[in-house]
C-alpha cells in the first residue's frame, strides 16, 4: 500500500487561558471605570441642579432681609442644614452671611461688615470671603437677589458644590491611575513569570537533551572500549568487528533520532500513515536489549492486535513510546519487574490505543494529578519532562489523548495513548 502523507494545517495557536484571563480583568476594570465615571458625572449634574435650585430659593426668600439689619440671623436659619459652600453678598459685594467656606459664620462682627459697606474700606478678613466668593463664581454663576416686581439687584448668592461631590470628582482619575498601576504591575509580573517559565523550560529541555544523548553515547564508549580490548587480545575477528559495528550503528541511529525529535519540537511535523505496531516493537526491542545492563530483571511482554494504519510522525511517536517504557522501567522497585505493552483497535471509536502497564511502585492521587506537569518527577534523578513532552507530542501534534488509566501505590501504573484512525484507513483494513 502506498504511504499517504497527512499534513496538519498550520493554524494559529490559540491564546492561552492566562491571556484570556488578563484580557477579562482589563475589560472588567474598564467597565468599572466607565460605570463609576457615569455615576459620578450624573451625581455631579444632579447636585449642581439641586444647589442651583436651593440658591435660587435662598435668593428669593432673603430679598426682604437684604436691607434688614437682622439679615444674618435670618439667613443662618434658612441655610442651617445646607452642606455646600454658600455666601450672600449685598449690592456692594460685601458678604453678609456665609456657610461651609471654612470660616465660622460669626467670625466677623456685623459692625465690621456695615462699616466696610459704608466706607468702602475692605478689611483683610472680609476680602478673604470675597476671594472665596469669586472662586465659587468660577464654578457656578452667582444667583442675583431681586425683589419681585421691583427693578434692581439687592445682592447675590454665591454657591459651590458639596465637599463630598468635590472628592467624588477625583475618583475616576484615581481609579484610572490604580488601573494603570495594576496593569503595569500585572504586565511586569506576567512577563517575569513567563520569562521564568521559559528559563526553567529551556534549562529542563537542555537537561532532557543531555539525558537523551547520554544512553547512546555511553553505549558507543562501551563499544569502542570493547573494540580496543578485542584488538589488544587479538580477538578482533571480522565477525566480532561486524557485530560491534552493527551495535554502534544502532546507537548512532538513535543519536540521529534524538536530534530529529528535538528539532521537531519547534515546528509542525508532517504525519504519515504507517504501521504503529512496528514502531512500538522497535522501541520495545531497543530497551529489551539494554535492560540487563541496568542491573534489573524486567520482563517486557508484548500484545499487538491487528490495527489499521495510523497517521503519525515516526521519530516523535517512537519518543513517546520510549518515554513510557523508560518510566515503567524506572518505576520498577521489585526484583522481578513486568511491563506489558499492548495495542488494541477500538473499532466503534475509530481509535487505536497503546497501553504500557508496569507492576512498579505506582503513584498517589496527588502524584497522578501532577504527572504531566513540566518539572514534576518522582524519580531521584529526573527532570520531569518525559510525560510533559509526551503529552505535547500526542495532543498537539497527533490530536490524540494520553492519560493515566490506573495507578495503585505498590501495584503499578497503566498509561494509555489513544490516536485517531482516518476513515480511509479503517475502510481499507475492513
Output the 3-class SS for 84-152.
CCEEEECCCCCEEEEECCCCCCCCCCHHHHHHHHHHCCCCHHHHHHHHHHHHHHHHCCCEEEECCCCCC
CATH number at residue 332: 3.30.565.10
pLDDT at 210 over 70: no
pLDDT at 197 over 50: yes
- 33 within domain boundaries: yes
- 259 within domain boundaries: no
- 67 within domain boundaries: yes
Burial track 50-78 (b if 16+ CB lie within 10 A, e otherwise): ebeebbeebbeebbebbeeeebbebbeeb
| pLDDT value of position 280 | 93
| pLDDT value of position 76 | 58
| pLDDT value of position 23 | 77
Q: Are residues 277 and 145 in the same domain?
A: no
Using CA of residue 369, residue 371, residue 374, residue 379, what is the dihedral sign?
Answer: positive
| pLDDT value of position 221 | 76
Q: Are residues 134 and 275 in the same domain?
A: no
Query: Which of 111, 145, 168 corresponds to the end of one domain?
Result: 168
| Residue 269 and residue 324 in contact, taking contact as beta carbons nearer than 8 Å | no
Of 35 and 150, the one with more pLDDT: 35
Nearest C-alpha neighbor of 212 from the set 90, 69, 366, 315: 315
pLDDT at 348 over 60: yes
Quote the mean pLDDT of the chain: 76
- Give the containing element (helix H, strand E) for 329: helix 314-330
Mean pLDDT highest for which of 212-226, 281-295, 395-409, 414-428? 395-409
- 228 within domain boundaries: no
- 361 within domain boundaries: yes
Whole-number percent of the chain with pLDDT over 70: 70
Domain around 81: 20-168
Q: Are residues 152 and 284 in the same domain?
A: no
Instruction: Give the number of other Cβ atoms within 10 Å of residue 208's Cβ.
Output: 20
Nine-digit cell string for 230:
578485542
Query: Which of 168, 188, 218 corresponds to the end of one domain?
Result: 168
233 band by pLDDT with thresholds 50, 70 and 90: confident
Per DSSP bridges, beta strands 86-89 and 95-99 are: antiparallel
Q: Are residues 280 and 425 in the same domain?
A: yes
376 band by pLDDT with thresholds 50, 70 and 90: low
Q: Are residues 301 and 164 in the same domain?
A: no
- 349 within domain boundaries: yes
Model confidence pLDDT, tens digit, residues 259-315:
766 666 556 678 889 999 999 998 898 888 777 655 667 889 999 999 999 999 888
CATH number at residue 68: 3.30.450
Give every CB contact of residue 344 below 8 A, 6+ residues apart in sequence.
305, 307, 352, 353, 355
Q: Hey, is 339 helix, strand or coil?
A: strand
Q: Are residues 157 and 24 in the same domain?
A: yes
| pLDDT value of position 64 | 52
Q: Are residues 279 and 414 in the same domain?
A: yes
| pLDDT value of position 353 | 95
Q: Are residues 164 and 300 in the same domain?
A: no
Q: Are residues 163 and 310 in the same domain?
A: no
pLDDT at 332 over 70: yes
| pLDDT value of position 413 | 92
Mean pLDDT is lowest, of 227-231, 263-267, 360-364, for 263-267
Q: Hey, is 341 helix, strand or coil?
A: strand
Q: Are residues 161 and 275 in the same domain?
A: no
| pLDDT value of position 15 | 45
pLDDT at 430 over 50: no
Q: Hey, is 331 helix, strand or coil?
A: coil
Name the domain count of the chain: 2
Q: Are residues 159 and 279 in the same domain?
A: no
- 175 within domain boundaries: no
Per DSSP bridges, beta strands 153-159 and 5-6 are: unpaired
Q: How far apart are CA 127 and CA 108, in angstroms?
A: 11
Query: Which of 120, 144, 168 corresponds to the end of one domain?
Result: 168
Q: What is the mean pLDDT of residues 371-392?
A: 72
| pLDDT value of position 3 | 41
Q: Are residues 162 and 273 in the same domain?
A: no
Nearest C-alpha neighbor of 339 from the set 298, 303, 371: 298
Q: What is the mean pLDDT of residues 140-144?
A: 82
DSSP for 217-275, please give it.
HHHHHHHHHHHHHHHHTT---HHHHHHHHHHHHHHHHHHHHHHHHHHHTTS-PPEEEE-
pTM score, whole prediction: 0.49
- 154 within domain boundaries: yes
Amino acid at each position: 500500500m502506498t504511504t499517504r502523507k497527512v499534513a496538519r494545517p498550520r493554524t494559529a495557536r490559540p491564546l492561552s487561558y492566562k491571556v484570556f484571563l488578563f484580557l477579562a480583568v482589563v475589560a472588567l476594570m474598564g467597565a468599572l471605570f466607565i460605570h463609576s465615571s457615569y455615576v459620578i458625572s450624573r451625581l455631579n449634574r444632579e447636585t449642581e441642579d439641586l444647589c442651583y435650585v436651593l440658591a435660587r430659593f435662598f435668593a428669593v426668600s432673603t430679598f426682604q432681609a437684604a436691607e434688614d439689619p437682622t439679615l444674618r440671623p435670618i439667613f443662618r436659619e434658612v441655610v442651617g442644614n445646607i452642606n455646600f459652600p454658600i455666601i450672600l453678598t449685598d449690592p456692594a459685594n460685601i458678604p453678609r452671611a456665609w456657610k461651609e467656606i471654612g470660616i465660622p459664620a460669626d467670625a466677623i462682627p456685623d459692625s465690621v461688615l456695615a462699616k466696610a459697606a459704608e466706607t468702602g474700606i475692605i478689611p483683610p478678613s472680609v476680602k478673604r470671603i470675597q476671594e472665596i466668593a469669586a472662586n465659587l463664581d468660577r464654578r457656578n454663576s452667582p444667583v442675583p437677589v431681586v425683589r419681585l416686581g421691583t427693578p434692581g439687584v439687592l445682592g447675590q448668592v454665591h454657591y459651590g458644590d458639596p465637599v463630598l461631590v468635590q472628592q467624588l470628582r477625583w475618583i475616576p482619575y484615581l481609579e484610572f491611575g490604580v488601573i494603570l498601576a495594576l496593569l503595569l504591575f500585572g504586565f511586569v509580573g506576567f512577563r517575569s513569570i513567563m520569562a521564568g517559565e521559559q528559563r526553567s523550560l529551556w534549562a529542563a529541555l537542555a537537561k532532557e537533551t543531555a539525558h537523551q544523548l547520554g544512553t547512546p553515547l555511553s553505549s558507543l564508549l562501551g563499544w569502542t572500549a570493547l573494540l580496543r580490548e578485542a584488538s589488544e587480545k587479538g580477538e578482533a575477528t571480522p565477525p566480532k568487528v561486524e557485530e560491534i559495528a552493527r551495535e554502534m550503528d544502532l546507537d548512532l541511529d538513535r543519536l540521529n533520532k534524538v536530534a530529529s525529535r528535538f528539532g521537531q519540537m519547534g515546528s509542525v511535523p508532517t504525519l504519515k500513515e504507517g504501521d504503529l505496531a512496528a514502531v512500538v516493537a522497535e522501541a520495545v526491542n531497543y530497551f529489551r536489549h539494554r535492560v540487563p545492563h541496568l542491573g534489573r530483571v524486567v520482563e517486557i511482554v508484548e500484545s499487538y492486535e491487528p490495527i489499521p494504519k495510523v497517521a503519525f510522525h515516526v521519530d516523535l511517536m517512537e519518543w513517546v513510546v520510549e518515554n513510557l517504557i523508560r518510566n515503567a522501567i524506572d518505576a520498577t522497585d521489585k526484583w522481578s519487574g513486568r511491563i506489558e505493552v499492548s495495542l488494541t483497535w477500538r473499532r466503534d471509536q475509530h481509535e487505536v490505543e497503546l497501553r504500557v502497564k508496569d507492576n512498579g511502585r505506582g503513584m498517589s492521587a496527588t502524584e497522578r494529578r501532577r504527572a504531566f506537569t513540566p518539572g514534576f518527577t518522582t524519580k531521584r534523578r529526573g527532570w520531569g519532562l518525559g510525560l510533559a513532552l509526551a503529552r505535547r507530542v500526542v495532543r498537539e501534534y497527533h490530536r490524540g489523548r494520553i492519560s493515566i488509566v490506573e495507578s495503585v501505590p505498590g501495584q503499578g501504573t497503566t498509561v494509555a495513548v489513544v490516536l485517531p484512525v482516518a476513515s480511509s484507513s479503517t475502510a481499507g483494513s475492513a
